[in-house]
């Protein structure tokens, strides 16, 4: 996917976007060199350091972007994201708040219990996660907005609700049950 530098979010997973944002705020990236529109960065991860190489065309298109980390779950990794923020910041055109609800790469919701690309740390967090407790912190409107957003990405919940609705409709037609 070819995207313009300020719109890199279109090719970044939401979770990765926010992690990259945190990396930027923690100043984990260091520009090693920059010439002929090619930027080389060293970005400090949780354990290792990775090298990010980015080439941006005159018209802002990201021509080439790579990182030496093992991430391969679709779109750019958090190290590249931290570097993009740094480039934009140095050019005096970074408005972080514009990325707060930015459009991101479509999430995959595989049926597998642990989505591909999740780290061991994420999996440990997942086991501690109490979904009912978390859901109780939302208002009905917030929950509905979340569900509708999810249904736009994945038909499964929509079809499940539709099925439930159809069953209820059928039940209402049966006099013996009313
Ligand atoms: Zn990376």
- Enumerate the domain spans of the chain: 5-99, 130-177
Q: Write down the pLDDT at residue 60.
A: 96
Predicted confidence at residue 119, as pLDDT, reads: 81
Centre of ligand 1 to C-alpha 24, Å, is 13
Cα(51) to centroid of ligand 1, in Å?
Answer: 8
What's the length of the chain? 178
Token duo for residue 35: 């010439």
pLDDT tens per residue, range 150-172: 888 888 888 888 887 887 787 77
Residue with tokens 């929950």: 143
Residues whose beta carbons lie less than 5 angstroms from ion ligand 1: 50, 67, 69, 77, 79
- pLDDT tens per residue, range 48-91: 999 999 999 999 999 999 999 999 888 999 999 999 999 999 99
Closest Cα to residue 115, out of 151, 74, 83? 74
Q: How far apart are the CA of 63 and the centre of ligand 1, in A?
A: 17
| Cα separation, 124 vs 130, whole angstroms | 12
pTM: 0.65
Give the Cα separation of 114 and 73 in Å (integer).
Answer: 13
């Amino acid at each position: 996917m070819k995207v313009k530098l300020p719109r890199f979010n279109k090719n970044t997973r939401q979770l990765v976007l926010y992690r990259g944002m945190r990396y930027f705020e923690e100043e984990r990236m260091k520009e090693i060199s920059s010439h002929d529109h090619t930027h080389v960065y060293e970005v400090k991860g949780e354990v290792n350091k990775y090298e990010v190489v980015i080439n941006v065309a005159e018209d802002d298109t990201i021509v080439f972007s790579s990182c030496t980390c093992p991430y391969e779950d679709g779109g750019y990794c958090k190290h590249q994201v931290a570097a993009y923020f740094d480039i934009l910041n140095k050019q005096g055109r970074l408005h972080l708040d514009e990325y707060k609800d930015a459009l991101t790469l479509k999430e995959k919701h595989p049926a597998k219990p642990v989505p591909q690309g999740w780290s061991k740390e994420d999996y440990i967090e997942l086991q501690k996660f109490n979904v009912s407790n978390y859901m109780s912190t939302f208002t009905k409107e917030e929950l509905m907005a979340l569900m509708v957003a999810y249904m736009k990405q994945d038909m499964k919940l929509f079809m499940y609700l539709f099925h439930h609705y159809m069953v209820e409709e059928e039940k209402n037609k049966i006099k013996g049950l009313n």
